[in-house]
Structure 1
Amino acid sequence: MSNGIWILHTQFGEIGTSSPSAGRSLTHECGHWFNLRHTWGNSNNPGLASNCNEDDLVSDTPLCLGSSGGCPVNSAGCGPIANVQNYMDYSLSCQSMFTQGQVQRMRQAATSSVGGRNNLWTPQNLLATGAGGTMYLCEAEFTADKRAICAGESIQFTDLSFNVVNGWNWSFPGGSPTTSTAQNPLVNYSTPGIYEVTLNATDGAASNSETKTAYIRVLPASGELPFLETFEGFTTLTNIAEWEVNNESGNGFQLETTTGHTGTKCAKVQNFDQQSGFTDELVGMPLDLSNVSQLTMSFRYAYKRRNTSDDDWLRVSVSNNCGDSWAVRKTLHGAQISSQVFSSSYKPTTQAEWITVHMTNITNTYWVDNFRYKFAFEGGNGNNIYLDNINVYAAAPSDNLIVGLDEPTALTEFTLFPNPADEELTVQFSLPNAQNLEIVIMDVSGKVLQSHSIQGNEGLNQVFVATEGFSSGLYFLEARGAGVSKSSNFVVR
């Protein structure tokens, strides 16, 4: 081969015989093939002082010494901060971009006959290599401007089929219209659910069909506060109404069924064995915040770094328009997310490993009836992360993370046992004086399942509650009286 790129298997991708630090080698070499120099100039020797007098012939890449691995983002050897994230640097750990000037230079190379790069597209060469001639329908394909919407909103679909397409037959279960022959139809969805979309494209002689299952998500009606998620009631996080999982290429948020802060379940990203650079999202259903005067969002996470140079990020974002746009309200990275290192695949084994985060910076701009929030975890050769006890409530921050209630302390020594429970649960508490109480049991959505009126005595009390008819999962129990209230959670096996 006289005009192409050779690359060793040890330098291709990030898995198998390669390594994360080699993951951008092919992109780097493609840059050279399209006439780009290294950012420090026309040599293979980064770090030399003389590189400040060299140039890569691109105006928007600053002069630099060049780096030899890592990600020295504060490097300023030639004056301005160096563009170490550039694919044409040797930074290895954080290569992620070309500049606009580099893009222009590569396009000029692709249109030039000097190096023969224009042979990629000239009709004469395409015909000579068997890639020209009569065009036929190859594939039906389409995209949508939004994949998740609130009920009543519309989605713009765009046809991407190729080649020479002149007919379209769309099917939109759950949408209006349910069918269309337009090339790029606008479809309204009014009923919550998860829907597929089918396009049959034709060139007049042949046709090709594409069906995308679970492609459109119409969100359920906005939930009420207080909201608490412990994941105990789920068997999966895939294609469920309550949570949207977005992961273009990574492992994605999954349901962990053997550990959690409360109970035995939580949400997890298996980040230890996935490539760096992927962002996995866990997006919550809409909540109605239109009547709150105070708001706290709290959650717990467990995480330990793989090493002190990994580059994992956890970001929490909020939306006041059902997810059309987002604003970051919490960012955890490096030592902020954890100061502890665990070189193997991490999994929490004690409650002490879980960290509680309280967010009070979700301002009244976001107190709307279609508020949404999401957790985005960007992996950078680090470790697994676990989320649990996601709580949104109209009160001051509370480490109890139960239902966000301000609970008086006159009812003391409050405990539930055995926990987890099988057929019976014991509620134990002390009162400063005799009074009537109501024992209320709720599921994770706040629905009342049982309510018992009792006479509480001064001092220590025990109440026995039958749980034999309950499904396995997490529940909440609240003891209410005149001026006293206390709540806690319990698990039924």
Structure 2
Amino acid sequence: MKSLTIALILFFYLLTNNFAQNYEAEKGKAHKEARVSILTKKQIKPSSTVFKRPNKNWKPEKWTFSKSNIINQEEINTRSKESYGPTIASPVPDTSFAGLIDNGTSIPPDVNGAAGPNHLMQTLNPQVRITDKSGNELFTTSLSNWWEPMPGNGGTFDPKIVYDPYQNRWIMITPSGSTSTTSRIYVCVSTTSNPLDDWNFYWFDTDTDNILWFDYPNLGFNKKWISIGGIMRNSAFEAVEFVVFTLDKNAAFNGDDDISLNKFTTNLGSAIVPAFTYDEEEENLYLISTGDGNDNGSGYINLFTLSGTTVDPVFELEGSIGIPEPWENWSYENHGDFLPQLGSSEKLNSVDARMHTMIFRNNKLWAVHHIYLPADDPTYTAIQWWNLDTNGVILERGRIEDENQEYSYAFPSIAVNANEDVLIGHGVFSDNIYASAGYSYKDHIDEPGSMRDVHIYKEGLASYYKTYGGDRNRWGDYSSVSVDPVDDIDFWALHEYAEMPTGNSIWGTYWAFVKPSFIPVVDFEADEILIPTGETINFSDLSLGVPTSWEWSFEGGTPATSSMQNPGEILFDQEGSFDVTLIASNSLGSDTLTKENYISTSTSILPDVEFTSDITAVCTGKEVKFTDLSEYSPISWEWQFDPSDITFVNGTDKYSQNPEVVFDEANLYSVSLTVWNLNGSSSITKFDMISAGGYTLPYIESFEEDSYKPDDWLIENPDESVTWELENIGGTSPGNQAMGLQFQSYLIGKYDRLISPPLNFTGSTDVILDLQHAYANKYMPISDSLNIYISPDCGITWEKVFTAGEDGSGSFATHELTENFWPEISSDWCAEGWGADCISLNLDNWEFMHDIQIAFETYSSIGNPLFIDNISVSTTLSTDENIKNENEILAFPNPSNGSLSVKIPENMKLDELLLINKLGQIVLRKKIDPNQHLINIEEDATRTKGTYLLVVRGPEISKNIKVILF
């Protein structure tokens, strides 16, 4: 029995020391600080004055691996000699363009970025930028401004970003503070796939004992976790231990207030890199780090896993992996300034051989780092990449290197697409060139271990030397490549290059969009598929796989064939339906697609007329842009306006397809458009489409989806920070939206204005402005406040008509003092519970005027949010209790919930009533007895909410009345 016990103890000892090694978790919480609309953040163009710290005393890690737990050891070199050298050319970029450029505030930039469905994000030490996929700038701010809501913000560095294509969210992380007492990690996640929408912001302390501080973050994710690996340093900048954090990803995506956090530490390896997990079913998250590059002639890396539940993960060392091709992990001379450049004896800093990126895809792991060669006396750097299974078995590996030692490659990143094509982005360095941006490509059909030729997509323009008083000529520290989530095939690369200096040396960044070749998958489209006989059509190739030749066949077309990629002006001069065929080819093969009866021609089809305008309520003298949306090959246009007192501007006239028009008088204008094609003409009239001088009364704005027009309202946000935005609320009717401004994350003393569309008071008396508001003081005696202004000339001059702030007695607040206020029930609003009545203002001073605008201005004192809803500008003239002119035709109540009455004076004889919607369609036609003087219109569920034209007419009179149904 004794010998059996000893055997069991020995077995379990060997089990724990030769297989997975567990690490204990330190548990905590990441705290939600704010939900922020990105477009409310201040956008900046000038340089900031905050410099990234140059880290004078920086020291490399002690590179270690688990000698007792080597899970895979190559005894002989399995890397094919063919993979050492060039093969065939990497594909050239489909497009490339500039990213952020040096603004003189940070070395290095720490280049990072990612691609989403419609946007690119670039997160650098100096700035954050969002662009479209053509490189057009949509938003730029400083890194510190991006993290403005966060506690301790001011020393941010090393940001990283990734797009989760399975839940369609962006994830961004950034450390803040490089001392043990200030070190935090900031995390934010987008609420949609659009990075210009709201984000949830979180933070956590990296060392609750305040002994070490966190540096060099590495970001990863899977279906359960956001994972962050990095280095914990002491005050001497020495690496003391390596750390992995896990956060509950789905809780963050849900916007929960506090989310579970786990922290694991190890002394093994170096900076640990979690994988980007491109598999929405994978339970585990894999991690990797560089080990000793030269231990008795072998180099090692370390593989880790995270398993278990979301809130109780298990972090384990799976083991170390060795190969008989050693390398050095950094250069000990010149503090790591090692990379050569043209035109200068000063070299660029290469940091060290830490891992840069890992990808999990198809149950395989792909990782990359740069290494120093030869191992015993390095003279150049090479890119080393790995393809492992999840047990650590090497499936293939390779190096991007110049064995002639003329070129060095460094700061790599790796991406793997759905076909297992691989793109590695990296810098290119040599005495023969300035520091440049490049990449290397591997197709899924290429030989294992091989990589195609290096392609430089942005050449450096000058030598570079800048230290800001440090002892290193900083470059990197990393780069970024990602797969486009739209097709999961194409790649985006982002890297640094040396820009032409303007005094001091300057770095720049550059994007490249790379489309891998494969056997084409053919598709195409036509700009029209139903046309008048005798018209022409333009065709566009939509084929995937980068075809290089095209063969088109057009049944019934002239010409009948084409070899152009996008042939145009194909004539179809016979009536009927016709096939179109495209064969797309490249060196790998071809694909054919025939769309049967794709094109139809007709001798009778007329234009389907439609148009729109950029605004419908306009100040007199202001331009309105009309856009023709007509279908079926329109060739000419004629516009008419009723009344006709308008002026065409900017070189347009009544025959322009898209005219620009100034409305000279305050009035309701109907707009008609006649469009011709080869078969004839069609027309449409939109009655009372344009409200020149402003909307006539009554005007109601409930801010609900079915009625609110964002383009009607103007927001003045002088500091380009927090401002008015639509919020989801409760307690008012109809609907669940109101306009609000969140003062709690705003600076004191800031003003923002929400400005109404123009309004027309012509013919109106007893004009009243009514609105609901909701607000609660957060601190006493400080109060946020609301001011209301009226402009009689569309915003040129303003007069204050109302101002209010809470004095503690309920004079303005609608809820008692509280730290967290958000309206949810009716008693949270004015006139319903505690506190103030609703605001009602007499605007008779502006009766009979037009081009009126109303501004709602907030003044911030860092309190609770302020909300306004159900704005109404009305006159008593339109109600049955206040009929003042017995000779007028009146409709009441107006606005109406669907049913209304029409009063006809005794002396008028009318015989017909029409109700016409905004599209000019008659939705109600009713015959009237000439002796009938009160007509009731019943509610009809088929009539949608909105503005209608009520027409009552007889032999000698016709009267139009605007009515609103809600």
Q: How would you bin the TM-score normalised by the shorter chain?
A: 0.3 to 0.5
* TM-score normalised to structure 2 length: 0.23
> Which structure has greater helix proportion?
1
Q: Which has the higher contact order (CA 8 A, sep 6+)?
A: 1
> Which structure has greater strand proportion?
2
